[in-house]
Amino acid sequence: MTVTYDSVGKGTELPPRTYRVTRLDLVKYAGASGDFNIIHWNERVARSVGLPNVIAHGMYTMAQAGRFVTEWAGGDPGAVADFGVRFSAMVPVPDDDAGAAVEFSGKVLEKLEGNRVTVDIVARADGTKVLTRARATVRLP
């Protein structure tokens, strides 16, 4: 079903999605972003500074939230007019084939002029909220 401005209202829930993040994803993201901080790929160093494991880049997690709302809006990244988050917890990524799961959900907070809606996004890893104040303004057909 294609989401349109007329098909949503305040409180409309976005279908939840789960995205997996593996160590390989972190290495690829490091290359694309230029963020080669060792805590994102070396478990020994991550643990030596008090982290539970290698952790996902915060901006990687934010990008997955952007992916979530973009896919809901029909796949056009240009539909996202405004987007912001606060980071509230880390996403530890184990050294296995499964990696970590980040679960996304959301709901429409309000309808705005110009076929735009404000969406509240919730992201959780292992039951812990990893993003707060995650909001996007999306233009819908």
Per-residue pLDDT tens digits for 37-54: 999 999 999 999 999 999
pLDDT tens, 71-89?
Answer: 999 999 999 999 999 999 9
Give the chain's mean pLDDT. Answer: 97
Is 34 a member of any domain? no
Please report whether residue 96 resides in a domain: yes
Strand partners, 119: 108, 136
CATH of the domain at 99: 3.10.129.10
The answer, yes or no, to whether residue 2 has pLDDT greater than 90, is: no
| pLDDT at position 135 over 80 | yes
| Residue range 57-72, pLDDT digits in tens | 999 999 999 999 999 9
Please give the residue range of the domain that contains residue 84: 10-21+57-139
Count how many domains the chain has: 1
Is the pLDDT score of 36 beyond 80? yes
pLDDT at 126: 96
Residue 77 vs residues 86, 89, 132: alpha-carbon distances, Å = 20, 26, 21
Largest CA distance in the chain: 52
